[in-house]
Structure 1
Amino acid sequence: MVAKQEKIGRKPGFSNKNLANSIKDLSSNTTMEKTQMTRHAEILCIGNELLIGKTVNTNATWLAKQATSLGITVKRVTVIGDNIKEIAAAVKEALARKPRFLITTGGLGPTFDDMTLEGIAKALNIKLKVNAQALSMIKARYEAYCREKRIPTAELTPPRVKMAILPEGAEPLRNSVGTAPGVKLKVGQTHMFILPGVPPEMKAIFEESVVPVLKKSAGKHAFFEKSMFVSNIVESSLAPLIDLVMRENPHVYVKSHVYTKDELAGEDARKLIELHLSTKTRSQRMAQKLLEHAASQLAKLVADNDGKVEP
């Protein structure tokens, strides 16, 4: 394997003048580092059920994928329990990193352990009060439930009013499929979006109220990706090849993923490695050029090292 690494080292350049000029133009407009700093997000998931393993954190996966596809870089995902002090501390820590967006899920319901808004108010040292617009949203939802005979009364009981108690200055976000409104709050340069933990409600509010803001922030930048699969080569042998290609293609990120594919639904199986290539650019055409160029380099290096690129 040492000889193969030396062979790679003797051929560091992958000549492509047109692509090189395109990359130069891309670099003059923006850098990946600057892009990540000006349009990055953090996700904070709240709920004891997540910490004890009772509930799989599908919200974080879904939110990260959606934000990434819109050109936003997710820098961190944090999970904490239903505890006011823990929530306040996590929010303070996140805001200290000055993300453009902080998205939270969970803890907006009517029960005693729904403490997210209290924790956020504590972190920001602001008061909580009944928000008239939020209360109106909740009232309308329970009246609809009552008409549908899903509940006996639309009375605004204390647990129902609890969902309308928001931090001062917060804006309620319409929940088209549930009762608890989402919440929008601006803290310095950070946009906070506080969403319910119930996945259909979280997704509905995100798509209606959060996506437009993320799109505006990302501008024309978007995330593009491509995968290729290789075999007959181990991940440790791929590592220097990936390093070389990423040095040659500074705007492309390459990540390897190992998994086993059953070919015959029996014991005959082979180990495949997925090479996931991604980039963020203003143009799909440019992204395709960048990804295809890097993939071509990887394919050649894999073949040179006795690996096989799967169709």
Structure 2
Amino acid sequence: MVMLANSIKDQNQFILYTLNLKVKKMNQQMEMICVGNELLIGKTLNTNAHWLAKRATTCGIMVKRIVVVGDDVNEIAGAVRKALRWKPKFIVTTGGLGPTFDDKTLEGVAGALNRKLEVNEKALKMVRERYNSYFAEGKIARVELTPARIKMATLPERAEPLPNPVGTAPGVLINVEETSLIVLPGVPTEMKAIFEESVAPLLRKEAGELTFFETSMYADGIMESALAPLIDTVMQDNPHVYIKSHPKCEERKPHMEIHFSTTTRYSKTARDCLGKAIIQLSELIQKNGGKVALKKK
């Protein structure tokens, strides 16, 4: 294990990677609503929420809440109304955009906004082109736009469809006063593709001029219960740095990954803040009999 020196001159070595993010004011926040009975009964792991929360953070947006509701119009509408009351910059929903009877997200969103559902010509063109492509590739036998297929182009009034690069159901963008309501499919590949193409640029544009920095160090020989008060002390002394420990049990020996992050306008400020916090915590860990490292074993 590469030992951390007691005196560190070059704090840049701690910054493993830097992401240029933007956050104007901390009102650039996101509420997330995940739709699907399969999530509530534990049949499907909610990997969409994990991925979206991480990507939103790296785009400079703070995720405030993640809510899971079933495939019920009233539940979906209620969750959207409640999220709107918080007045976030973004609300993102995942799931329930397909052609089947239990895909009810857009119906719930329309109900929450008191808007009618209507066939969106732009979305219909997207759906038609996708099925024409499938037909040309021999993936489907019929190219007709059935009622189930048209359903995927039936959006709330004044909605903007977002292209789906890998699937059939478009994403949806609806502006509600100062909030951008974004509706994404539940299929992970489709959700990620729409996010990267249409949503991430929007988030970065709205986020402002701060930069998000994160890095990790590793500690051996100290239990999480003993580490917790040390982290509390360092966070009190460094209020702009967030520190989180992640236990990794290896052969019954305590092993911790310690994650540091901060958001600031200037990269030098970030390096200074993170470097100071890392040095302070590493010294406390060593005083309590632990060992620290910059790299995994």
TM score, norm. by length of structure 1: 0.84
Alignment-mate amino acid for residue 277 of structure 2: A
Q: Write out per-residue CA displacement over residues 221-269 of structure 1, whole angstroms, 9 at most, x where no aligned residue.
A: 23211111212222222222212211111110111222212xxxxxx44
Alignment-mate amino acid for residue 271 of structure 2: Q
Aligned mates of 1:199, 1:227 — CA distance in 2: 28
Q: Does 1:277 align with 2:260?
A: yes
Aligned mates of 1:102, 1:245 — CA distance in 2: 34
Q: 1:143 aligns with which of 122, 127, 132?
A: 132
Higher helix share: 1
Aligned mates of 2:133, 2:273 — CA distance in 1: 52
* Correspondence for 2:58: 69
SS at match of 2:258: strand
Structure 2 gaps of 5+ residues are 1-10, 12-22
* Correspondence for 1:178: 167
Partners of 2:222 and 2:254 within 8 A in 1: no
Aligned mates of 2:212, 2:56 — CA distance in 1: 9
SS at match of 1:260: coil
**Aligned-residue CA RMSD in angstroms?**
1.6
Q: How does 1:53-92 map to 2 (within 5 A)?
A: 53-92=42-81
Q: Does 1:286 align with 2:269?
A: yes
Aligned mates of 2:37, 2:55 — CA distance in 1: 24
Which structure is richer in relative contact order (CA contacts within 8 A, separation 6 or more)?
A: 2
* Correspondence for 2:201: 212
Aligned mates of 2:130, 2:225 — CA distance in 1: 56
Aligned mates of 2:277, 2:171 — CA distance in 1: 42
Partners of 2:25 and 2:208 within 8 A in 1: no
Alignment-mate amino acid for residue 94 of structure 1: A
SS at match of 1:129: strand
Superposed displacement of residue 283, structure 1: 3.0
Superposed displacement of residue 50, structure 1: 1.2
Partners of 2:162 and 2:172 within 8 A in 1: yes
* Larger displacement relative to structure 2 (273-282 or 230-239): 230-239
Aligned mates of 2:188, 2:211 — CA distance in 1: 25
Q: Does 1:99 align with 2:84?
A: no
Partners of 2:35 and 2:71 within 8 A in 1: yes
* Correspondence for 1:163: 152
How many residue pairs get matched?
273
Alignment-mate amino acid for residue 183 of structure 2: I
* Correspondence for 1:43: 32
Partners of 1:230 and 1:310 within 8 A in 2: yes
Partners of 2:69 and 2:76 within 8 A in 1: yes
SS at match of 2:225: helix
Aligned mates of 1:282, 1:180 — CA distance in 2: 38
Identity over aligned residues, as a percent? Answer: 57
Partners of 2:118 and 2:156 within 8 A in 1: yes
Alignment-mate amino acid for residue 41 of structure 1: M
Q: Does 1:310 align with 2:293?
A: yes
* Larger displacement relative to structure 2 (154-163 or 234-243): 234-243
Superposed displacement of residue 219, structure 1: 2.4
Partners of 1:41 and 1:101 within 8 A in 2: yes
Alignment-mate amino acid for residue 285 of structure 1: K
Aligned mates of 2:110, 2:175 — CA distance in 1: 13
* Correspondence for 1:247: 236
Q: Does 1:128 align with 2:123?
A: no
Superposed displacement of residue 80, structure 1: 1.1
Q: Over alpha carbons, which structure has the higher Rg?
A: 1
Partners of 1:69 and 1:222 within 8 A in 2: no
Structure 1 gaps of 5+ residues are 1-18, 20-31, 262-267
TM score, norm. by length of structure 2: 0.88
Alignment-mate amino acid for residue 289 of structure 1: D
Partners of 1:69 and 1:224 within 8 A in 2: no
Aligned mates of 1:35, 1:236 — CA distance in 2: 35
Aligned mates of 1:239, 1:142 — CA distance in 2: 55
